[in-house]
Amino acid sequence: MRFLSTLRGRLIVSHLAAVFVGVVAIVLIAGPLTQRFFVDHVDGMMGDSTMMGGTGDSVMVELQSSLLDSFRSALFIALLISAVTAVVASVYASRRIAQPIERMSDAARKLARGEYDERVPVPEEIELATLAQDINTLAASLASTEERRLQLINEVAHELRTPLATIEGYMEGLLDGVFEPTDEVFGATAREAARLKRLASDLSTLSRAEEGALELASDRIDLAQIAKEAAEALMPLFMEKYIALTIDDGDPLIVLGDRDRLTQVFTNILGNAITYTGQGGSVGVRMERDGSRATVTVSDTGKGLTGDDLLRVFDRFHRVDPNLPGGTGVGLTVARNLVRRHGGDIVAFSDGPGTGSRFVVSLPLAG
């Protein structure tokens, strides 16, 4: 009975059933009709039975019996031919259908085992071709996801290595008596520990944002006020590097969003500007309305961006100057994901190295 539970078996049985039903229909309908039409036809040809010398009835009975015997013989032969044809056709049809499905099933099992380079040939049948293309698309998506996962693991391991090595070096130095337990040593260790904590927090936020698992509030808030407060909160860092901060106040820019997350966006952008702007430079924040959108532009007189940097500045762990202290390399990535979750975007501009850069945050205004 296992044969009947397969698609191939059911196709063969269905073809044979169709032949059987057709033959039964012919027997039940064609036999009586043939006899009736034959009698009428012979009556028309023979006319009056006296023309046959009294033997018309017996002749007619013999002809009818002969015709029915011939009909049954022909029907039996037709049944055999139909059955053989049905078996051949059903085997061919089942193979055309079952083989692609079996290949897809085998590919699905390989994908489940992690063989993401597996692909299936696309058959000619439209429905099967659509299914095969969906499986190939899924395989490509899984391969891309696995590639990004491995890349992320390597990037995280690389980023963790430096602060961990620094902390380990200070701790070993303290234990061996190489370093004195001074405030400078403890301060450097604390900064590296804070960097690790910030990296873990940024990666957690980025992961949830990319997965769509980050819950965002949708309150009516003033984007201009949020940007201004974020800049003022970082004033000690501006003063430490003697960076002039100018805030161009404008009209309120009311948007729907999460206050804390948008504050994080501007904190990350402004922190990036502080990192890449030298002492005595300047950073400006300008708020304005652009049609139906609210825009906040953060400009600086820092290192600027090359053409490659403009393409990669929002990539995870990309840093324009890896030698500069501070930063995790994911702050701008987090900022862009958060802004996009709000229905907006961030765009970076620069005329090249040494010319500074501009980051423009754009969000739809609330109705």
What does pLDDT average to over the chain?
79
44, 92: one domain: yes
Measure the CA–CA gap between 127 and 200, rounded to whole angstroms: 46
Measure the CA–CA gap between 303 and 357, rounded to whole angstroms: 8
229, 357: one domain: yes
Measure the CA–CA gap between 199 and 191, rounded to whole angstroms: 12
183, 162: one domain: yes
32, 72: one domain: yes
User: Mean pLDDT: which of 62-66, 194-198, 333-337 is highest?
Assistant: 333-337
In order, the DSSP letters of 224-258 are HHHHHHHHHHTHHHHHHTT-EEEEE--S--EEEE-
Low-confidence winner among 256-260, 269-273, 306-310 (lowest mean pLDDT)? 306-310
Measure the CA–CA gap between 328 and 311, rounded to whole angstroms: 18
What is the model's pLDDT at position 49? 47
168, 248: one domain: no
356, part of any domain: yes
121, part of any domain: no
149, part of any domain: yes
CB-CB contact of 342 with 216 (8 Å): yes
133, part of any domain: no
What is the model's pLDDT at position 50? 46
259, part of any domain: yes
DSSP 56: H
What is the model's pLDDT at position 74? 64
Q: What total of structural domains would you count in the chain?
A: 3
135, part of any domain: no
Domain of residue 334, residue span: 219-364
CB-CB contact of 330 with 317 (8 Å): yes
104, 206: one domain: no
354, 224: one domain: yes
CATH of the domain at 237: 3.30.565.10
Low-confidence winner among 103-112, 119-128, 241-250 (lowest mean pLDDT)? 119-128
Quick one: average pLDDT of 117-127?
80
**First vs last C-alpha separation in the chain:** 66
What is the model's pLDDT at position 52? 46
More confident residue, 100 or 233: 233
How buried is 257 (Cβ within 10 angstroms: 0-12 exposed, 13-18 middle, 19+ buried)?
buried
194, 274: one domain: no
What is the model's pLDDT at position 358? 94
66, part of any domain: yes
207, 248: one domain: no
Measure the CA–CA gap between 91 and 103, rounded to whole angstroms: 17
43, 89: one domain: yes
Measure the CA–CA gap between 257 and 362, rounded to whole angstroms: 12
CATH of the domain at 174: 1.10.287.130
Measure the CA–CA gap between 54 and 37, rounded to whole angstroms: 22
Query: Which own/partner pairs from 336-340 qualify as long-range (CB within 8 Å, at least 24 positions apart)?
Result: 337/206, 337/209, 337/210, 338/205, 338/209, 338/214, 338/261, 338/262, 338/264, 338/265, 339/262, 339/265, 339/363
What is the model's pLDDT at position 4? 59
134, part of any domain: no
CA distances to 46, 242, 330 from 53, in Å: 11, 136, 113
CB-CB contact of 359 with 348 (8 Å): yes
Low-confidence winner among 5-19, 82-96, 108-122 (lowest mean pLDDT)? 5-19
86, 189: one domain: no
223, 193: one domain: no
Measure the CA–CA gap between 340 and 255, rounded to whole angstroms: 14
Low-confidence winner among 52-56, 98-102, 201-205, 273-277 (lowest mean pLDDT)? 52-56
Say whether pLDDT at 336 is over 60: yes
DSSP 219: E
Quick one: average pLDDT of 175-203?
80
